[in-house]
Chain A
């Protein structure tokens, strides 16, 4: 029996259970070497191109067009030509096109998820479980509105605006595309959309979905390029501009459309307060804090970047948070076990580094996840600052990275006052088991989205958008149709 005893005592146990790499294959993605502009259902050549890369290792993926002012004007002209016929289609027919798009996105979800993670750097589990399913869901949701607009706006005779110019950010490329295109098309507009400079590929792949859905030419047009392309789109003969991005650029756009009759919606930056009371379900609150700031590397406009903890539980919360951060798996975005992926671009990495350096300099205490970062590519370890004063730059400015500032409060009044003490007003979080306090807080927080005992949840039926310098207009839900319609 001694051999048996040995066997049961035998310890194949490595000190640590290292998960073997579980990379999602990239074979499913077939990229062209070079992309043109998708205008009028065709690929037009552009004079200039630039390389778009994979932030995980800086390897080039494809060359995409840098649309010129003339290219943009042409695209808007094509969209204008297509507008009348598209608007004249019965809503039920427009609906069916959108349903088709939703279905095709779901059918090709793996391909989109892999490409999104490749080009943007976000973990495959997020593009697979959040970005792509939500994008498909948005098309499905707005599809159903296309022939029911009079129920959404009774007695108002809703009519399409014409051509919408849409400019989207790099943090949720396909999802933001769907937030823009789905309601615009449902309302009967045609669109010219400019993807973010660093993440154009899923938008370009989306053109193939448009083709498969047999959408009439010119209804969806995609022009890639940098900020100058976006500026050209704002200046072009469009009826509406919808922009998601930084507050700085949002203000510039608001100035550019000043005095014109272009409708405008802006979904801009944020510096959300995530407020934890001492009676909260602590472990779930810690999960919410982690999800609030490390989801998508903190590249989230509604990220819970300011954590307010009630002083009586400050220590246990910070303790639990640090322990939880240590279990975050940072690395290859394509690995199915990765929790935190690559920073989207060198520029963004430098901005994060600059603000973190400022935090240290101002006297905040820094803690970073003990993780090994890959050598190539853009990476930043999940970071938390304690001993942060309201006045520090890290507590004021949007970092748009995996960097959390922890502050304390003593009473609900103080929590509200500190949370609202910012020019932004996109989102906020509340963690408490007390129902009446949730509603009291929710009423007073000046933010467009308030998550109570949860954070970073999104749904096509749920309106999203900011107060104050976080922008105006709503995306999602019935309310998300209004910015794309004209009324009597």
Chain B
């Protein structure tokens, strides 16, 4: 008799743990019952992200780079599993390589984006990039893995914590990614991944007063409403590309801080 396989329960990834939706709901996607997150799960994810963000930002850039590289390592080990859940091996490989690319940028950002400013007076003045804080990401439906990685990797590279909504139609790759992230030294709460209905969840993310920026790359028809909600706390609104790899994807999740100090004896 053939052995009955143990099936996975597809859960959310919040604060480094894998809870079911507090609502007890699921929806069927890619032939599986997937957790259907609620507004309260969004709330919990933002709380977890806020708590985790300062430490992630305070880690040395070298360390952040190593942790992001570790995600690539963890993904590389499960290429076949990922390939089944997205468009195939090519998408997985490109996703892995994307992590590697961003991992290598963590300790170069300040040099490329910062500046020393020659003010007309006896002051030392410099500008450095800093994370904006907690970023909400409405990731694109397609490609389900590469689209998600392309959006969260630049945000993480800059020291932000993210709450990302996975592809609604094909969420399984996101859950697989959560498992890779969970085993790769990323502190709990830095990455939070929610599955469910975008139209239900995105407005809560966009209107959340403790979210600093929102990425609407995958928002499609919801964009105007989400932008309206985002204005309530002057969120940074980013509409990036579903498949791009650029320093400027990182910088769109960053603030610039300028520091002055007199030069004297």
Q: Do A and B interact directly, with beta carbons closer than 8 Å?
A: yes
Q: Does B232 contact A (CB under 8 A)?
A: yes
Q: Is the CB of A448 within 8 A of B255?
A: yes
Q: Is the CB of B230 within 8 A of A254?
A: yes
Q: How many A-B residue pairs have CB under 8 A?
A: 105
Q: How far in angstroms is the closest Cβ of chain A from B233?
A: 6
Q: Is the CB of B256 within 8 A of A462?
A: no
Q: Is the CB of A459 within 8 A of B120?
A: yes
Q: Does A316 contact B (CB under 8 A)?
A: no
Which of A84-92, A355-363, A473-481 sits within the interface?
A473-481
Interface residues of A in 422-479 (CB under 8 A from B): 423, 438, 442, 447-454, 457, 459, 461-465, 467-472, 474, 477-479
Q: Is the CB of A462 within 8 A of B258?
A: yes
Q: Is the CB of B231 within 8 A of A448?
A: no
Q: Is the CB of A471 within 8 A of B234?
A: yes
Taken together as a complex, chains A and B put the C-alpha atoms of A252 and B230 apart, in Å, by 11
Out of B117, B123, B259, name the residue touching A450 (CB < 8 Å). Answer: B259
Q: Is the CB of B236 within 8 A of A472?
A: yes
Taken together as a complex, chains A and B put the C-alpha atoms of A278 and B132 apart, in Å, by 31
Q: Is the CB of B123 within 8 A of A457?
A: yes
5 A-B pairs with CB atoms under 8 Å apart are A255-B227, A454-B260, A461-B117, A469-B233, A471-B234
Chain A residues within 8 Å of B, Cβ to Cβ: 137, 156, 247, 250-252, 254-255, 257-259, 266, 268, 423, 438, 442, 447-454, 457, 459, 461-465, 467-472, 474, 477-479, 487
Out of B117, B118, B119, B234, name the residue touching A266 (CB < 8 Å). Answer: B234
Q: Does B184 contact A (CB under 8 A)?
A: no
Out of A156, A453, A462, name the residue touching B125 (CB < 8 Å). Answer: A462
Interface residues of B in 115-153 (CB under 8 A from A): 115, 117-121, 123, 125, 127, 132
Q: Does B228 contact A (CB under 8 A)?
A: yes
Known: A450-B260, A452-B260, A452-B261. A463 touches B233 (CB 8 A): no
Q: Does B60 contact A (CB under 8 A)?
A: no
Out of B120, B230, B236, B262, name the residue touching A453 (CB < 8 Å). Answer: B262
Q: Does B257 contact A (CB under 8 A)?
A: yes
Contacts of B233 in A (CB 8 A): 423, 468-469
Taken together as a complex, chains A and B put the C-alpha atoms of A254 and B227 apart, in Å, by 8
Q: Does B212 contact A (CB under 8 A)?
A: yes
- Residue of B119, B228, B230, B260 contacting most chain A CB atoms (<10 Å): B260
Contacts of B118 in A (CB 8 A): 461
Q: Does B89 contact A (CB under 8 A)?
A: no
Q: Does B223 contact A (CB under 8 A)?
A: yes
Q: How far in angstroms is the closest Cβ of chain A from B38?
A: 25
Interface residues on B, range: 20 to 34
**Residue in B closest to A487 when the chains form the complex, CB atoms:** B248
**Residue in B closest to A439 when the chains form the complex, CB atoms:** B259
Q: How far in angstroms is the closest Cβ of chain B from A321?
A: 20
Out of B119, B234, B256, name the residue touching A254 (CB < 8 Å). Answer: B234
Q: Is the CB of A268 within 8 A of B261?
A: no
Q: Is the CB of B119 within 8 A of A457?
A: yes
Q: How far in angstroms is the closest Cβ of chain B from A267?
A: 11
Q: Is the CB of B231 within 8 A of A258?
A: yes
Out of B223, B227, B259, name the residue touching A442 (CB < 8 Å). Answer: B259
Q: What are the interface flags for B219-233 relative to A under an 8 Å C-beta threshold, 1 for contact and 0 otherwise?
A: 000011101101111
Taken together as a complex, chains A and B put the C-alpha atoms of A462 and B115 apart, in Å, by 9
Contacts of A453 in B (CB 8 A): 261-262
Taken together as a complex, chains A and B put the C-alpha atoms of A471 and B255 apart, in Å, by 11
Q: Is the CB of A478 within 8 A of B227?
A: no
Taken together as a complex, chains A and B put the C-alpha atoms of A463 and B117 apart, in Å, by 9
**Residue in B closest to A459 when the chains form the complex, CB atoms:** B119
Contacts of B232 in A (CB 8 A): 251
Q: Is the CB of A467 within 8 A of B261?
A: no
Taken together as a complex, chains A and B put the C-alpha atoms of A471 and B223 apart, in Å, by 20
Q: How far in angstroms is the closest Cβ of chain A from B111?
A: 13
Taken together as a complex, chains A and B put the C-alpha atoms of A447 and B127 apart, in Å, by 12
Q: How far in angstroms is the closest Cβ of chain B from A155?
A: 9
Out of B117, B132, B231, B259, name the residue touching A477 (CB < 8 Å). Answer: B117
Out of B224, B256, B262, name the residue touching A474 (CB < 8 Å). Answer: B256
Contacts of B255 in A (CB 8 A): 448, 467
Q: How far in angstroms is the closest Cβ of chain A from B224?
A: 3
Q: Which A-B residue pairs are the 6 nearest by beta carbons?
A: A259-B224, A258-B227, A254-B231, A459-B119, A461-B117, A452-B261
Contacts of B115 in A (CB 8 A): 463, 477-479
Taken together as a complex, chains A and B put the C-alpha atoms of A467 and B120 apart, in Å, by 25
Q: How far in angstroms is the closest Cβ of chain A from B32?
A: 34
Known: A448-B257, A462-B260, A479-B256. A454 touches B123 (CB 8 A): yes
Known: A459-B125, A468-B233, A471-B234. A448 touches B258 (CB 8 A): yes
Taken together as a complex, chains A and B put the C-alpha atoms of A156 and B255 apart, in Å, by 20
